[in-house]
Amino acid sequence: MQLLNYLLNKIARWKQKSNKFMRTFFIAKKKKRIAKTGDTKVPSVVCNNCNGAMVLHEFGLPFNSPFVNLWIPPSDYIYLLQHLKELISKEIIDVSDKYPNIHYPIGELGGKVTLYFMHYKTFSEAIETWKRRTARMDFNNLRIILVERDGTTIEHLRQFDQLPYPHKVSLTHSAHYELKSCFALKGCTDKEKEQLAFPYEFSGWFGGKYYDQFDWVQFLFGNKK
């Protein structure tokens, strides 16, 4: 049993090293595609969790929206998208005390939308960063993402699909062919919760991640090359 565990751990380490090494070539190819578009105007990406920002970070692109290092419950996120221009400049109040078992800052935007600042140390840091990145928002160049996690239901997916944003995608664990904005990521399923697992995780040995199944360069810059 000890030998088996040793071998499994060894294989896991080899796999991790292989993926990290191969990822550099994978991302270099994507950056080359982006450069070929000739488009230097990076869109404002709005996402209900960190996956959108992770894509931008890997591509070496700036964060032109405040939706970075946080997550938003699906019902709140749909409401936010329905009133984005109205809400984005509203005050965020500190409601961390309402959640004693959560050890990172939590804010409430406009009294309507809960923002879980999971990768920030303090509320003031989160707000300072939010304001700085909000100033970069370009409402004429938005990309809207819904990642099927944190209790996202089929009703949330339907509501998202009906939103009047021309560039939007919902990443899901299974296909919903009636929803035009839906894109299913194969092999990325949390079977217990019947939702996506972690799209940013490696999916094999050669540097690919689950969310690479979606064409991010096409989505961000409209390039099909």
pLDDT at 21: 95
8 lies in some domain: no
Looking at the DSSP bridge assignments, the partners of residue 209 are 202
Residue 35: which residues within 8 A CB-CB, separation 6 or more? Answer: none
**Tens-binned pLDDT, residue by residue, of the chain (225 aa):** 777 776 778 888 999 999 999 999 999 999 999 999 988 899 999 999 999 999 999 999 999 999 999 999 999 999 999 999 999 999 999 999 999 999 999 999 999 999 999 999 999 999 999 999 999 999 999 999 999 999 999 999 999 999 999 999 999 999 999 999 999 999 999 999 999 999 999 999 999 999 999 999 999 998 444
Q: Which residues span the domain enclosing 117?
A: 31-221
Residue 81 lies in a domain: yes
Domain presence at residue 117:
yes
Q: Flag whether 7 is in a domain.
A: no
Which pLDDT score, from 0 to 100, does residue 137 have?
Answer: 96
Location of structure tokens 């089929």: 154
Tell me whether residue 87 is in a domain.
yes
Q: What is the DSSP string of 161-205?
A: HTSS-SSEEEEESS--TT-TTEEE-TT-EETTTTEE--TTSB-SS
Distance from C-alpha of 38 to C-alpha of 30, rounded to nearest angstrom: 13
Provide the number of structural domains found in the chain. Answer: 1
pLDDT of amino acid 50? 94
Residue 25 resides in a domain: no
Name the nearest CA neighbour of 167 among 210, 222, 119: 222
pLDDT for position 11: 83
> So what's the pLDDT on residue 6?
67
